[in-house]
Chain A
Amino acid sequence: GENVEQHPSTLSVQEGDSAVIKCTYSDSASNYFPWYKQELGKRPQLIIDIRSNVGEKKDQRIAVTLNKTAKHFSLHITETQPEDSAVYFCAAPNQAGTALIFGKGTTLSVSS
């Protein structure tokens, strides 16, 4: 946590393609890594999360992978659809473990 870097800042894909967003964190003690999706004009909402005791978690077309050694985690969206267009934020806990520190976001555009 404390410092969370996210890239790319924008990502454009064709419908049906896969999309990958990557984040790195600085605090090696971090143990929880959620991803939030914010549709245009809406509030951020949790879509998937992963804890440090697993390396991968899947939920239908989305998956998150975690590499604790390298201190990075990634969001994978397969078979993208226009409704996947949104801003995606990764996050990790602050040093105290009480609040989430978010990356700067990735704007995903899926064109049909």
Chain B
Amino acid sequence: DSGVTQTPKHLITATGQRVTLRCSPRSGDLSVYWYQQSLDQGLQFLIQYYNGEERAKGNILERFSAQQFPDLHSELNLSSLELGDSALYFCASSVDGMANTGELFFGEGSRLTVL
């Protein structure tokens, strides 16, 4: 158990809909990262938050947005869903929001299926 909690574990929805994925980081970790894992694209970095502020942006679509709340949990909002958005969405956390100071701890992921 990494200490990172993601909900829901599975989600099935239709094209055009909107969903929210939730992540609680490990106790004491200030930074949250969102990654998308699809079969042919590996682990794609979407966005990073540190202590409530956006710190880095990756390949996140305009239809997607995220935020980190004062209690440090984070939500990833996916809207106007398309079939190609079907993927496993991972949240990860780290203590200080720097890539080179230690391990990223991943949650179990939220599997999104868009029909």
B10 CB to closest chain A CB (Å) equals: 12
Given B42, B99, B107, which contacts A99 in the complex, CB threshold below 8 Å?
A: B99
Q: In the bound complex, do residue B43 and residue A89 qualify as a contact, i.e. CB atoms below 8 Å apart?
A: yes
Q: What sequence of 0s and 1s flags, for each residue 14-51 of chain A, a beta carbon within 8 Å of any chain B beta carbon?
A: 00000000000000000110101000001111100001
Q: How far is the CB of B3 from chain A (nearest CB, A)?
A: 11
| CA gap between A93 and B48 in the complex, in Å | 13
CB pair A44 B106 closer than 8 Å? yes
Is A104 a contact partner of B41 (Cβ separation < 8 A)? yes
0/1 interface trace, chain B 1-45, chain A, CB 8 Å (1 if under):
010000000000000000000000000000101010000111111
Q: Which residues of B contact A (CB under 8 A)?
A: 2, 31, 33, 35, 40-45, 48, 50, 55-56, 58, 90, 97-100, 103-104, 106-109
